[in-house]
Amino acid sequence: MSDPETFDPGGRFRAEVAASRLTDPMPGIAVLAGELGLPVDDVVHHALVRWSSAGAEALMAAPPEMLVALRDAADAGDVDRVRGIVDALLAGWDS
């Protein structure tokens, strides 16, 4: 396992993950699944697929969040954050 600081300099993403634990997404997902007649697990899977492919979609959307973050980090001279964002964008491409 790599050092978390490599992908998340300063721990911003990890802090967002911790904060998200304060909200339970399952009631909303359960309602959506029920209204559509789909298994909850299928809706959760779909949400995760959409989230994990958001980097590719972000390149077609305006403004692409990851590129804005990359520009902001570069403008601030935060090389560690730039490296972390680039590593996140390329995660999985090396394998």
Distance separating alpha carbons of residues 70 and 58, to the nearest angstrom: 13
The pLDDT, as a whole number, for residue 95 is 53
The pLDDT, as a whole number, for residue 65 is 75
Within a domain: residue 20?
yes
Within a domain: residue 95?
no
Q: Please give the average per-residue pLDDT across 37-44, as a whole number.
A: 96
Within 8 A by CB and 6+ apart from 63, the residues are: none
Mean per-residue pLDDT over the chain, rounded: 83
Q: Please give the average per-residue pLDDT across 10-17, as a whole number.
A: 86
State which of 33-42, 51-60, 62-71 shows the largest mean pLDDT. Answer: 33-42
Q: What share of the chain is helix, strand, coil (3-state, %, to 5)?
A: 70, 0, 30
Residue 18 amino acid letter: A
The 10s digit of each residue's pLDDT in 62-88 is 567 778 889 999 999 999 989 888 887
Distance separating alpha carbons of residues 11 and 30, to the nearest angstrom: 31
Indicate the number of domains in the chain.
1
Domain that holds residue 11: 4-90
Is 23 in contact with 94 (CB distance < 8 Å)? no
Type and span of the H or E element at 24: none
Distance separating alpha carbons of residues 74 and 79, to the nearest angstrom: 7
The pLDDT, as a whole number, for residue 52 is 77
